[in-house]
Chain A
Amino acid sequence: SAVISQKPSRDICQRGTSLTIQCQVDSQVTMMFWYRQQPGQSLTLIATANQGSEATYESGFVIDKFPISRPNLTFSTLTVSNMSPEDSSIYLCSASADTQYFGPGTRLTVL
């Protein structure tokens, strides 16, 4: 199994600013992912965070808006850049071990 923590757990940000979310896994994992869950909706995959190379983004998500780092096998960051109210959402980190586990999420509100 894998235990995943995220920081911050929540934040309220101003339009036009950026926020970096950190994700820490308690064991080395090959695959880490970032999802978004908008209010009342299900999870949408943003990107796969690749260790040692650029992240793989899903359709509709771009690196300039959501830059991702993956410096090692236990840690990743997601930055939400130049935020607008439409970015208000829960951002979830996920990792694959024997199955796919999720962090507690970061609840972002953009004013």
Chain B
Amino acid sequence: GQNIDQPTEMTATEGAIVQINCTYQTSGFNGLFWYQQHAGEAPTFLSYNVLDGLEEKGRFSSFLSRSKGYSYLLLKELQMKDSASYLCAVPSMNSGYSTLTFGKGTMLLVSP
């Protein structure tokens, strides 16, 4: 089976840095995804990590440690528009890694 844990909610102020953690236990592993979902909208792809280490993409970076079953999403220079839910997801081995299992999401609130 698969289990994905992430904090339910976080708060931060504009201009700050925030780190959203995700831990996972899976049968088999084929990478980890991060999605951003604004209220009432579809999830949008942010990052995919399959190898250990940090991948930077503008203000957003994602880190993976396969040995620890751990990932984080790092958001720098926070803006009000970054207020959203951030979803951690892993491909399911049962489907040949074609489907995703999502964590419950972390609601990030950015305040002025």
Contact = CB atoms under 8 A, between A and B. Distances in A.
Interface size class, chain B: 20 to 34
B41 A42 contact: no
B42 to A, nearest CB: 4
A66 interface: no
Interface string A79-108: 000000000000010001001111111010
Contact of A99 (B40, B48, B87): B48
A48 B43 contact: no
Interface stretch (B51-59, B67-75, B100-108): B100-108
A43 B102 contact: yes
A44 B100 CA distance: 9
Nearest to B98: A31
Nearest to B44: A102
Contacts of A75: none
Interface of B: 33, 35, 40-45, 48, 87, 89, 95, 98-105
Given A42-B104, A104-B41, A105-B42, 12 more contacts: A42-B102, A43-B89, A43-B102, A45-B100, A56-B95, A92-B42, A99-B45, A100-B45, A101-B45, A102-B35, A102-B43, A105-B41
